[in-house]
C-alpha cells in the first residue's frame, strides 16, 4: 500500500469519525424530541433518553472487546445497521405510536440498540486506526472530530433539520449519511475487507430502503397520528365508531374524535355553561333531563347544578367514551364525577334508534352531537330526527342543539335553525365565544315560547344574567340567511357544512 493511499484512507477514516459523531447525536436528539413530543414532559423525556443512550454507548464500548477478528468488517456492518435503525427510528416511532400499547418499551429499546451500536463505533475505529497513527495523535484527532461533530449536530438539529426537514426526513437523511460512510469504507478498503461485495450489497439495499423512506416522508407523516396533534397524546384508542385521542399540555386536557377537537380543558366551561343553562334555567320543570351525545359528562356536570333535577338519561353511541369519562381519573375530576352520580343513567345506543323506542316524556333535552361532517351524523340534524325529539318532549319543555360555528359555517348554522322551525319548534338561536373553538352556535327550541325569566344556578364562571342576554344578539356577519331545510332525503346540511368548512380550512 502506498503512502498516498494510506494518507487518504486515514483522512477518510477521520472524516467518518466526524460523520458518525454527527449522526449519533442526531439520533439521540430525534429520540428525545419525539419522546417529549408524543409523551409530554420534555425534561423527563430528554433526561431519560440521554441517560439511556449514553449508558447504551457504554455497553457498546464494552462489547467492542469481544470483536477479535475482522474488526473492519464489523465496523462496516455497524455503520450499515446504525444507518438503517437510526435513520428509520423517527418514522417507526411515529407510525407505531398509536398502534402499540407499550410505546415506552419500543422507544427505549430503539435508544438502547442505537446507543450500543454507536458506542461500538469509536472503539472499533480507534483499533482500525491504531497502526496508522501515533497513539497521542490518534486520541487527539478522533476526539476532536467527535466533539466538533457533536457541536455541528446540536446546531443543525434545531436550526435547520427540525424546521426545514422535519424529524422523519432528517432521520432518513442521517441514516443515508451513515450508510454512505460504510459504503465508502468498503470501497476504499475493499482489498482488506473480507466479503466486501456482501457488505456493499447489504449497504445498497439499506440505502434503497432509506431513500424510499426519505422520498415518502410526507406520506409517512400523514399516516402517523402522533404528528397530527400539537400537544402530547396521552390516550389513543379506536372504538367501532371513532378514533378517540386525548392530549395534554400542562393543565390543558383536550379530547379529539376523528381528529376534531371536542373540548379544551381551558375553556370548556364556556361551551358547557352556554350549552346547558340558557335553556335549562328557563323551563318551568326540570325533573327529567335527556342528553343525546355528550358522553364526556361535561353537560351532565352542569345539569346536576340544579337540585330539582331528579334524573338524567345520557344516550351516547360509544361505550368507550362513557367508560373513559367515568373511570379515568383526570377526566372524572374534570366532569366532577357526573357520570357516576346516582341520578345519571348512561345508555350506549344510537340516539335515533333509542329515541324512536321511547314513550315517556322529558322536561329538557340536549343534543350535543359531533358536527354534521358526514352523512351518517347528518341524520341527527334532520326534520325526521327533530320530530322524534318533539314527540318525547313535554309541551312546556325545551331542547338545545349544538349547531356548529355561525361565523365559519353561517349557512349551516341557520340551516339547523330553519330545520327546527320546519319541525314545529319556536326557536331562539344564540352564540358564545369559546377561545379554542371560536364563535360557537346553539339553538334553543321549544314547542311553545319559553318564559323569559332565567333562574341560573350559583357558581357559574361565565354566565350571568347580563352575559346571557348578549348571547341571543347576532352581529350582521353571523345573521340569518335563507337556507334549505335539512331532511334525510337531501342531507342539505352535510353538503353545506363541508363547503363552508373547506373554505375556512384551506
Partner 1 sequence: MNLPGITRRRFLGVATGAALLAGCSRRTTRVIPGEIVGPSRERGHRLRDGGFPAANTMERQGVVIVGGGIAGLAAARQLRKSGQEDFVLLELEDHTGGNSSHGANAVSAFPWGAHYVSLPPNDAREVIELYEELGLITGRDAAGRAIYDETALVADPAERLWVLGRWQEGLIPKVGASDADLREYTAFTAKMAEFKAARGRDGRRAFTIPVDRSSQDDAFTALDRMTMTQWLDAQGYRSERLRWYVDYACRDDFGGTRDQVSAWAGLHYFAARDGVASNAENDVVLTWPEGNGWLEKRLREPNADRIRAGLVAWNIEPAPDGGVRIDAFDFRRAQSIRFEARAAIVCVPRFVAHRLCAALRGRPAEPLEYGPWVVANLTLGERPGGRGFAPAWDNVFFDSRSLGYVNASHQRLDREVGPAVITWYSALCDGPAAAERAKAFDRTHADWCDLVLADLRRAHREIDETVRKIDVCVWGHGMIRPVPGLISGEARRRMAQPIGPIHFAHSDLSGLSIFEEAYTRGLLAASDVAEQLRPA
Minimal distance, residue 292 CB to partner 1, in Å: 13
C-alpha closest to that of 120 among 70, 180, 183, 77: 77
What is the chain's Cα-based Rg?
31
Chain centroid offset of residue 214 CA: 23
Active site residues: 368
As given in the structure block, the three cell numbers for residue 444 are 334553543
Which residue in 438, 436, 435 sits closest to 413, CA to CA? Answer: 438
- Tell me whether residue 208 or residue 469 sits nearer to partner 1 (CB atom): 208
> Looking only at residues 235 through 274 of this chain, which bind partner 1 when binding is defined by CB under 8 A?
238, 240-243, 258-259
The region of 160-168, 184-192, 196-204, 346-354 touching partner 1 under the rule CB under 8 A is 346-354
Taking CB under 8 A as the rule, does residue 8 contact partner 1? no
Give the angle subtended at the CA of 307 by the CAs of 305 and 313, to the nearest 5°: 75
Query: Does position 222 bind partner 1 by CB under 8 A?
Result: yes
Is residue 357 part of the contact set for partner 1 (CB under 8 A)? no
Considering the complex, what minimum distance in angstroms separates the CB of residue 333 from partner 1? 28
Phi, psi angle pair for 227, to nearest 5°? -80, -15
Tell me: does residue 88 bind partner 1 (CB under 8 A). no
Q: How many CB atoms lie within 10 A of CB 464?
A: 11
Residue whose C-alpha cell is 436550526: 159
By beta-carbon proximity to partner 1, the closer residue of 375 and 504 is: 375
Residue with cell 344574567: 465
15 near partner 1, judged by CB under 8 A: no
95 binds partner 1 (CB under 8 A): yes
For the purposes of burial, counting CB atoms within 10 Å of the CB of 113, is it exposed (0-12), middle (13-18) or buried (19 or more)? middle
Select the residue interacting with partner 1 from 487, 496, 497, 500 (CB under 8 A): 487
Binding partner 1 by CB under 8 A: which of 267, 311, 350, 396? 350
Tell me the C-alpha distance between 22 and 192, whole Å: 27
Rounded to a whole number of angstroms, the minimum distance from the CB of residue 192 to partner 1 is 38
Q: Using the rule CB under 8 A, is 99 a contact of partner 1?
A: yes
User: In this complex, which beta carbon is closest to partner 1, that of residue 302 or of residue 368?
Assistant: 368
- Build a one-symbol-per-residue string for 358-387: x at contacts with partner 1 by CB under 8 A, - elsewhere: ---------------xxxxx-x--xxx---
Report in angstroms how near the CB of residue 381 gets to partner 1 at its nearest.
Answer: 12
The residues pairing with 315 across neighbouring beta strands, listed in sequence order, are 292, 347
Q: Which stretch binds partner 1 (CB under 8 A): 19-27, 101-109, 184-192, 218-226?
A: 218-226
Q: What is the 3-state secondary structure (H, E, C) of 302-322?
A: HHCCCCCCCEEEEECCCHHHH
Rounded Cα–Cα distance for residues 376 and 250 (Å): 35
Identity of the residue, 21 or 365, whose beta carbon is nearer to partner 1 in the bound complex: 365
Instruction: Count the residues of the shown chain that bind partner 1, applying the rule CB under 8 A.
Output: 35
Q: How far apart are CA 406 and CA 190, in angstroms?
A: 70
Which of 7, 130, 356, 391 contacts partner 1 by CB under 8 A? Answer: 356
Q: Where are the beta strands (DSSP E) in 250-351?
A: 252-257, 260-264, 288-293, 311-315, 344-347
**Region 157-216 residues binding partner 1, contact defined as CB under 8 A:** none
Q: How far is the CB of 434 from partner 1 (least distance, A)?
A: 23
Q: HEC string of 353-390?
A: HHHHCCCCCEEEEEEECCCCCCHHHHHHHCHHHHHHHH
| Contacting range for partner 1; rule: CB under 8 A; set: 224-232, 389-397, 434-442, 447-455 | 224-232
Considering only CA atoms, which of 295, 486, 237 is closest in space to residue 382? 486
Beta carbon nearer to partner 1, 119 or 213: 213
391 scored as a contact of partner 1 (CB under 8 A): no
Compute the distance between CA of residue 158 and CA of residue 22 in angstroms, rounded to an integer: 14
Residue 35 CB, nearest approach to partner 1 (Å):
19
Enumerate binding residues for partner 1 (CB under 8 A): 95, 98-99, 222-225, 228, 238, 240-243, 258-259, 317, 350, 352-353, 356, 373-377, 379, 382-384, 487-491, 494
Amino acid at each position: 500500500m502506498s503512502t498516498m493511499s494510506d494518507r487518504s484512507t486515514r483522512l477518510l477514516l477521520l472524516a467518518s469519525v466526524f460523520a458518525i459523531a454527527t449522526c449519533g447525536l442526531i439520533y439521540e436528539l430525534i429520540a428525545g424530541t419525539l419522546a417529549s413530543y408524543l409523551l409530554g414532559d420534555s425534561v423527563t423525556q430528554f433526561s431519560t433518553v440521554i441517560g439511556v443512550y449514553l449508558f447504551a454507548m457504554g455497553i457498546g464500548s464494552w462489547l467492542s472487546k469481544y470483536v477479535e477478528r475482522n474488526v473492519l468488517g464489523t465496523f462496516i456492518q455497524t455503520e450499515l445497521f446504525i444507518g438503517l435503525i437510526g435513520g428509520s427510528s423517527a418514522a417507526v416511532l411515529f407510525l407505531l405510536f398509536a398502534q402499540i400499547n407499550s410505546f415506552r418499551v419500543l422507544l427505549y429499546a430503539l435508544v438502547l440498540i442505537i446507543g450500543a451500536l454507536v458506542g461500538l463505533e469509536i472503539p472499533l475505529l480507534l483499533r482500525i486506526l491504531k497502526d496508522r497513527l501515533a497513539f497521542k495523535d490518534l486520541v487527539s484527532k478522533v476526539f476532536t472530530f467527535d466533539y466538533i461533530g457533536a457541536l455541528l449536530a446540536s446546531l443543525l438539529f434545531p436550526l435547520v433539520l427540525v424546521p426545514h426537514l422535519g424529524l422523519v426526513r432528517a432521520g432518513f437523511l442521517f441514516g443515508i449519511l451513515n450508510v454512505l460512510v460504510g459504503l465508502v469504507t468498503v470501497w476504499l478498503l475493499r482489498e482488506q475487507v473480507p466479503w466486501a461485495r456482501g457488505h456493499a450489497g447489504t449497504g445498497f439495499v439499506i440505502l434503497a430502503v432509506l431513500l424510499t423512506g426519505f422520498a415518502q416522508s410526507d406520506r409517512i407523516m400523514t399516516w402517523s397520528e402522533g404528528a397530527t396533534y400539537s400537544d402530547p397524546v396521552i390516550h389513543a384508542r379506536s372504538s367501532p365508531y371513532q378514533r378517540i385521542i386525548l392530549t395534554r399540555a400542562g393543565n390543558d386536557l383536550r379530547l379529539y374524535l376523528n381528529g376534531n377537537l371536542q373540548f379544551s380543558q381551558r375553556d370548556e366551561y364556556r361551551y358547557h355553561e352556554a350549552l346547558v343553562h340558557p335553556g335549562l334555567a328557563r323551563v318551568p320543570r326540570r325533573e327529567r333531563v335527556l342528553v343525546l351525545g355528550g358522553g364526556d359528562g361535561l353537560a351532565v356536570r352542569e345539569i346536576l347544578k340544579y337540585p330539582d333535577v331528579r334524573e338524567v338519561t345520557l344516550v351516547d353511541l360509544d361505550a368507550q367514551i362513557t367508560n373513559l369519562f367515568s373511570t379515568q381519573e383526570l377526566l372524572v375530576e374534570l366532569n366532577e364525577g357526573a357520570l357516576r352520580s346516582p341520578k345519571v343513567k348512561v345508555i350506549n345506543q344510537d340516539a335515533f334508534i333509542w329515541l324512536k323506542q321511547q314513550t315517556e316524556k322529558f322536561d329538557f333535552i340536549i343534543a350535543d352531537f359531533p358536527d354534521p361532517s358526514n352523512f351518517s351524523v347528518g341524520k341527527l340534524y334532520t326534520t325526521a330526527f327533530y320530530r322524534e325529539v318533539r314527540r318525547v318532549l313535554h309541551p312546556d319543555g325545551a331542547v338545545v342543539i349544538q349547531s356548529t360555528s355561525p361565523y365559519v359555517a353561517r349557512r349551516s348554522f341557520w340551516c339547523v335553525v330553519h330545520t327546527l322551525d320546519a319541525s314545529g319548534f319556536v326557536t331562539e338561536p344564540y352564540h358564545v365565544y369559546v377561545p379554542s373553538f371560536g364563535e360557537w352556535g346553539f339553538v334553543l327550541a321549544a314547542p311553545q315560547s319559553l318564559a323569559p325569566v332565567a333562574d341560573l344556578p350559583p357558581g357559574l364562571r361565565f354566565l350571568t344574567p347580563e352575559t346571557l342576554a348578549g348571547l341571543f344578539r347576532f352581529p350582521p356577519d353571523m345573521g340569518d340567511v335563507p337556507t334549505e331545510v335539512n331532511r334525510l332525503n337531501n342531507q342539505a346540511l352535510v353538503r353545506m357544512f363541508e363547503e363552508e368548512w373547506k373554505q375556512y380550512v384551506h
